[in-house]
Amino acid sequence: MKRRNGQSPSAAVHLSERVDRLSIKRQEIIRPILEHPRDYVLLSVRAMAKRLRTDPATIVRIVRGLGFESYRQFQHHLHELSLAFATSLDTMQAGGRDPSMPGHVIEALEQDLKNLQGLKNSLDAQRLVALAKRFHEARRIVVLAGDLAVQLALYLEYQVSLLGLPIFAATSGGRVLHLVRSVNKQDLVIAISFRRGLRQTVEGTQLARSNGAYCVGIADTYLSPLARECDEIFLAPVESTSFAASYVAPVALLNSLLAAIGQYRRAQTLAIVKEIAEEQRKGFRWYNS
């Protein structure tokens, strides 16, 4: 099976089923790790075995029994798991290396820069170009989001609507249901949700895809349910050192997409923005100083 985000399929997709196949004793050993991945993700196999009061060979056998080729691959899964299930408490406790108030500010900025660098290193620009083409060819574009991600959906809707493309944001359970009920193979659905995935967004994506729409997910980890439900997925980290998730990288991803959409039919875009420019210079919305 080909992973839709371009990565090789992980044994983690059906991990719970593989855990159930282990012996009762091995299940008891592995469950604390899967329930509290942040406590174990940085441990060597020896340190993990010591904490769990077992031996390294047993840990390695359990890891292989779960379908991972190596302990390093298992650690990578724990890292993704810690992202998917992170809470505001987790992120705030992870920060604070410098206890001073200016130190907290600098640390937050440094984390945002890391998120941006991670996006830059992983983003396939050609895939964004292909997605821009879908924006121009779709009968309708539906953006699904909830909770804080509503702001991202509204931002994308506002910017794309400037070009006259048929885009609609669905940010409540009822509107998600009503909009995706009538989508078909001519439509494009953009689903935005981070960490474990918001129910209304994931279930809306499932319905949209069952109706034939091409679904694109924006998430922060390949363990997101959107990675399984969408035709393709783009990852943008939201790691933070405070109680709030950082949306610097997701906004940068949307800006990169907007750049591709605007340039895809450049002549058409220029004609539209020339009209907009006149309003931006003299329109009634602007304060006259």
pLDDT, tens only, 238-247? 998 888 889 9
Question: Is residue 106 within 8 Å of residue 247, measured between CB atoms?
Answer: no
DSSP-assigned letters across all residues of 94-139: H--SS-SHHHHHHHHHHHHHHHHHHHHHH--HHHHHHHHHHHHH-S
With CA atoms as reference, report the closest residue to 15 among 25, 3, 27.
Answer: 27
Tens digits of per-residue pLDDT, 24-78? 999 899 888 988 888 888 899 999 999 999 999 999 999 999 889 999 999 988 8
Name 119's Cβ contacts closer than 8 Å, sequence gap at least 6: 235, 236, 237, 249, 252, 253
Could you tell me the pLDDT band of residue 194, with boundaries at 50, 70 and 90? very high
Name 133's Cβ contacts closer than 8 Å, sequence gap at least 6: 264
Angle between helices 199-210 and 173-180 (to 10 degrees): 10
Domains parsed from the chain with CATH numbers:
11-85 (1.10.10.10), 120-282 (3.40.50.10490)
pLDDT at 4: 42
Quote the mean pLDDT of the chain.
89
With CA atoms as reference, report the closest residue to 215 among 7, 8, 3, 4.
Answer: 4
The neighbouring-strand residues paired with 169 are: 143
For residues 31, 32, 35, 37, the Cα torsion angle rounded to the nearest 10 degrees is -120
Residue 279 CB burial class (10 angstroms; 0-12, 13-18, ≥19) = exposed
Instruction: Give me the phi and psi of 190, to 5 degrees please.
Output: -110, 120
Out of 9-18, 143-152, 234-243, pick the least confident: 9-18
What is the C-alpha to C-alpha distance for residues 216 and 100, in angstroms, rounded to an integer? Answer: 41
3-state class of 93 per DSSP?
Answer: helix
What is the C-alpha to C-alpha distance for residues 252 and 18, in angstroms, rounded to an integer? Answer: 37
Average pLDDT estimate for 119-138: 96
The pTM for the full model equals: 0.81
Residue 97 CB burial class (10 angstroms; 0-12, 13-18, ≥19) = exposed
With CA atoms as reference, report the closest residue to 142 among 197, 194, 198, 186.
Answer: 186
pLDDT at 81: 85
Question: Is residue 235 within 8 Å of residue 222, measured between CB atoms?
Answer: yes
